[in-house]
């Protein structure tokens, strides 16, 4: 079928809206009419050519839409169902079998390989391959062929247009707090870097019952926003010594921190301000090869640094839980969203890079 899509023709090029040919869904695939699709930092990294994703390609890995057709083996959803889309995984490796699909041994080839697991591709333009299957989906388009493992059935009483960002950025921030750190009522958390992921972590920290939620950033506007979303304290790390301030506030160190910037100096702060036995969750993505220095004595005192992929989520379980929390008014993630048409994708990318928009969501 013919679809409308935002294509990245080559590395560092702007997105180009084009009409391309989409394959039929195979036995384990779902054809989804996309109602909304998020623009995430990882799309922009792939557009720059910093991921193994081959180009030209259609990106997009946070979709929401309506199922139009399913392959013969698909049992999870049927035509007409509302779905959100998330990352894909193999389902058979040791990590997938132990319920940790975000740690899948084949995560990179399946999510950034540009092809289905069998090596075939899903899209063409004038007889030439356009790579897809980005995170098992490629949703910057009017329609997407989505691997069954990447679709999550969602309730029909919540507007589909707001649900797309749950599939990556929002579940990452919320999952880091709930699944990885396992924050509990009365626990204390400091979040370094306040974008859509950091704000999702703040909302989740409130849900978890954290009594002290410290937001750190270098932009005053972001710190005010953090307060609106539930931070109990804010620190501008350009103006104060973040480590000393946190130690002062908490009487020696904090139990949980989250690093959401990908900056090695910020990671150092997020570890140095931990209490004995504390854990730092590392979410921020640094370019390949970036090293960080840590004081070994600090780590020896029972402190942990833990990398977090996709919030350690099982999206089939976690996304419906986040939607329930939203319905109860406890997780107002829709406040992060600004809508754009698919045609405005380059403007959305620019606004996101400049920090003008927290979570751009495109409507094809
Ligand atoms: Zn796997
Ligand atoms: Zn993402």
Q: For 264-289, how does the pLDDT look when each residue is reduced to its tens digit (9 = 90+)? A: 999 999 999 999 999 999 999 888 78
pLDDT score of 236 more than 90: yes
Give the distance (Å) from ligand 1 centre to CA of residue 42. 20
**Tell me, what's the pLDDT at 285?**
87
Q: Closest ligand to 117 CA?
A: 1
Mean pLDDT of 287-303: 93
pLDDT score of 311 more than 90: yes
Question: What span, in angstroms and rounded, lies between the C-alpha atoms of 42 and 259?
Answer: 17
Residue 176 DSSP class: I
- Name the residue with tokens 């946070």: 62
Residue 310 DSSP class: G
**Tell me, what's the pLDDT at 246?**
98
> Mind listing the pLDDT tens digit for each residue in 35-47?
999 999 899 999 9
Q: Closest ligand to 110 CA?
A: 1
pLDDT score of 355 more than 90: no
CA geometry: angle at 360 spanning 135 and 146, to 5°?
Answer: 25
Residue 131 DSSP class: B
CA dihedral 61, 88, 151, 344 (to 10 degrees): 10
Question: What span, in angstroms and rounded, lies between the C-alpha atoms of 150 and 145?
Answer: 10
End-to-end CA, the chain: 16
CA geometry: angle at 189 spanning 187 and 191, to 5°?
Answer: 165
**Tell me, what's the pLDDT at 363?**
98
| Strand pairing report for 63-70 and 57-58 | unpaired
Give the distance (Å) from ligand 1 centre to CA of residue 100. 8
User: Per DSSP, which regions of 203-358 are E strands?
Assistant: 212-217, 233-236, 254-259, 274-282, 304-307, 337-341
Q: Is the dihedral angle over the CA atoms 15, 20, 25, 28 positive or is it negative?
A: negative
Give the distance (Å) from ligand 1 centre to CA of residue 86. 15
User: Residue 292 half-sphere exposure, CB side, CA atoms within 13 Å?
Assistant: 23
Report cis status (omega within 30 of 0) of the bond before 56: yes
Give the distance (Å) from ligand 1 centre to CA of residue 109. 11
Give the distance (Å) from ligand 1 centre to CA of residue 132. 20
Q: What confidence tier does 50 reach under pLDDT thresholds 50, 70, 90?
A: confident
**Tell me, what's the pLDDT at 301?**
95
**Tell me, what's the pLDDT at 287?**
80
Angle between helices 242-250 and 264-272 (to 10 degrees): 20
Classify 353 as helix, strand or coil: helix
Buried b or exposed e, range 205-240, using 16+ CB within 10 angstroms:
bbbbebebbbbbbeeeebbebbeebbbbbbbbbeee
Q: Which two tokens stand for residue 20?
A: 């391309």
Q: Closest ligand to 173 CA?
A: 2
Phi first, then psi: what are they for 104, rounded to 5°? -45, 135
Mean pLDDT of 331-345: 97
| Mean model confidence pLDDT for the chain | 96
Classify 335 as helix, strand or coil: helix
Give the distance (Å) from ligand 1 centre to CA of residue 95. 6
pLDDT score of 200 more than 90: yes
Q: Is the dihedral angle over the CA atoms 178, 179, 180, 186 positive or is it negative?
A: positive
**Tell me, what's the pLDDT at 159?**
96
Residues linked to residue 71 through DSSP beta bridges, in sequence order: none
Question: What span, in angstroms and rounded, lies between the C-alpha atoms of 333 and 229?
Answer: 9
């Amino acid at each position: 079928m013919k679809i409308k899509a935002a294509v990245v023709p080559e590395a560092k090029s702007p997105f180009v809206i084009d009409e391309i040919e989409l394959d039929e869904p195979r036995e384990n695939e779902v054809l989804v009419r996309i109602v909304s699709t998020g623009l995430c930092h990882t799309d922009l990294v792939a557009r720059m050519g910093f991921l193994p994703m081959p180009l030209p390609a259609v990106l997009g890995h946070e979709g929401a839409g309506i199922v139009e057709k399913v392959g013969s083996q698909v049992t999870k959803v049927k035509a007409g169902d509302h779905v959100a889309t998330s990352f894909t995984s193999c389902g058979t490796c040791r990590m997938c079998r132990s319920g940790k699909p975000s740690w899948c041994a084949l995560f990179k080839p399946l999510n950034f390989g540009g092809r289905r697991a069998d090596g075939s591709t899903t899209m063409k333009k004038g007889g030439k391959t356009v790579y897809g299957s980005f995170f098992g989906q490629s949703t910057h388009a009017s329609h997407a062929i989505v691997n069954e493992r990447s679709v999550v059935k969602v309730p029909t009483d919540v507007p589909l247009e707001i649900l797309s960002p749950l599939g990556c950025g929002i579940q990452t921030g919320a999952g880091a707090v709930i699944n990885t750190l396992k924050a509990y009522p009365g626990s204390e958390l400091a979040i370094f870097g306040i974008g859509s992921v950091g704000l999702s972590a703040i909302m989740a920290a409130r849900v978890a019952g954290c009594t002290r939620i410290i937001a750190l950033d270098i932009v005053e506007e972001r710190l005010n926003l953090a307060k609106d979303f539930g931070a109990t304290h804010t620190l501008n790390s350009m103006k104060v010594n973040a480590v000393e301030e946190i130690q002062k506030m908490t009487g020696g160190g904090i139990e949980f921190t989250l690093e959401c910037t990908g900056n090695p100096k910020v990671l150092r702060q997020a570890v140095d301000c931990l209490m004995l036995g504390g854990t730092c969750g590392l979410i921020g993505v640094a370019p390949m090869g970036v090293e960080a220095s840590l004081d070994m004595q600090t780590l020896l005192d029972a402190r942990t640094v833990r990398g977090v992929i996709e919030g350690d989520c099982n999206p089939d379980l976690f996304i419906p839980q986040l939607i329930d929390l939203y319905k109860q008014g406890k997780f107002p993630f829709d406040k992060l969203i600004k809508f754009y048409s698919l045609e405005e994708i380059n403007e959305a990318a620019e606004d996101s890079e400049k920090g003008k928009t927290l979570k751009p969501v495109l409507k094809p």
